[in-house]
Structure 1
Amino acid sequence: MVNEVETGTRQRLLTAAETLLLTQPYDEVSIRGICAAAGANAAAVHYHFGSKEALFGALIEDRLGPLWADKLVRATAAPDSLPAVVDAILTPFVQLAGDPLGRLHLRLLARFVLGRHLTAWQGPWFRMGTWAALLPELSAQESRRRWMLAFDLIIVRFGGPELDDHGMTMPELATLRDFVVAGLCAPTGE
């Protein structure tokens, strides 16, 4: 019974935070406001997440992780899979960009990734080590650097305020895809 109650409270906190973010800027959403909107004890955010930042990291992972998980597992299983992996990354971004709640998630993701917030990500596709392993011909450091640059570029394009309700055109998306693949596959300067 305790686990069901804890899970219910955790989900209510995530939903309350998400709802508040639709009408208020991140900096104006308070822990107290989240707990009040969720009908939870004032200490619930700290109990379940540890901090406001960790709650929003969990929200990102909870809402966005399932969009990528299966596609990425399938894409990484194929030989010469890098273009398929990039496609599996970009497809959910395109879908999210066309929806107000999706754009909220993308802006929140951009805030965390580009701000280099330290968050204890749980899912494998939110941890850089998973990505670094996809470029085995490079050192782990070089692979991480390339993936960080690739994600920064994608997230800036999709998580920035300039993205309108229509998202990207097909030529823009194709250019972004080709640029990311080329950057990840580029020979090392050694």
Structure 2
Amino acid sequence: MQTEPDARLRLLDAAELLLREQGYERTSIRAVNKAAGMNPAAVHYHFGSKPALVTALLEDRLRRSWDGPLADLTGTPPDIGQLARVLVEPMAALAADESRGWLLALLARLVLAGHPLPWRSPWPAPEPWIEIVRRAVPGLSERDAADRWRLARDLVLITYGAPLAEPGHPPEPPPARTVIAFVAAGLAAEGDPHDHDLRARATGAADPA
């Protein structure tokens, strides 16, 4: 008798094969169920939806790259340089790995396109990273920390993940040390003293001059 973990594993393996060969848009739930040798309702029963299936696959295959280092950051005095390394180095390694680079391309495609993905692991969610940024750069508001984190994440995904989705040979990314230095500088940059006033005027919240 097949257990639920066995069934989920079969579906994840089938999804991995199809996603690698066909991409996200062309991979259907029906095809995954068929490739796994399971009934037409299997994906919905075990995962709920196609986005949930793909999210579970990405978490299963990639979470070890970030979970441990991120946990270390939350338990020690934060350092922006270390935070940048934790973000950049796994992506640089994935981009250079011919067997797993497609996973990074898939992650970049979905995140940059704004697909709602039901993450369960801490590393893809912004909250733990934003908290580390705020602890490392005292005085940052939650909004500013979130904006900086989103810009840093998207920059790294574009640098390492987006080129892998293009046909042919992707361009060589800059050295990881260069990307780390750039990301760290952006996260730690001093804020513009006029930023609050400009933002208030843009939203109509500032008093007229």
Q: TM-score normalised to the size of structure 2?
A: 0.81
Does the residue aligned with 1:134 lie in a helix, a strand or coil? helix
- Write the distance in 1 (CA, Å) between the matches of 2:71 and 2:113: 27
Alignment correspondent of 1:115:
113
Select the residue among 110, 126, 129 that pairs with 1:128.
Answer: 126
Q: Tell me if the contact between 2:88 and 2:179 (Cα under 8 Å) persists in the aligned partners.
A: no
- Write the distance in 2 (CA, Å) between the matches of 1:158 and 1:12: 29
Partner amino acid for 1:92?
A: P
Count of aligned pairs = 186
Larger radius of gyration between Structure 1 and Structure 2: 2
Shift of 1:186: 0.9
The unaligned stretches of length 5 or more in structure 1 are none
- Write the distance in 2 (CA, Å) between the matches of 1:159 and 1:113: 10
Alignment correspondent of 1:189:
192
Does residue 139 (structure 1) correspond to residue 141 (structure 2)? The answer is yes
Shift of 1:25: 2.5
Shift of 1:122: 0.6
Does the residue aligned with 1:133 lie in a helix, a strand or coil? helix
- Write the distance in 2 (CA, Å) between the matches of 1:165 and 1:96: 14
User: Aligned residues: percent identity?
Assistant: 40
Q: Tell me if the contact between 1:150 and 1:180 (Cα under 8 Å) persists in the aligned partners.
A: yes
Select the residue among 174, 177, 185 that pairs with 1:174.
Answer: 177
Partner amino acid for 1:184?
A: L
Check 1:28–1:91 CA distance in 2 against 1; reply closer, same or farther (3 A cut): same
Alignment correspondent of 1:57:
55
- Write the distance in 2 (CA, Å) between the matches of 1:111 and 1:101: 18
- Write the distance in 2 (CA, Å) between the matches of 1:189 and 1:41: 58
Shift of 1:168: 3.6
Q: TM-score normalised to the size of structure 1?
A: 0.88
- Write the distance in 2 (CA, Å) between the matches of 1:78 and 1:188: 25
RMSD: 2.1
Alignment correspondent of 2:43:
45
- Write the distance in 2 (CA, Å) between the matches of 1:87 and 1:27: 32
Q: Tell me if the contact between 1:98 and 1:167 (Cα under 8 Å) persists in the aligned partners.
A: no
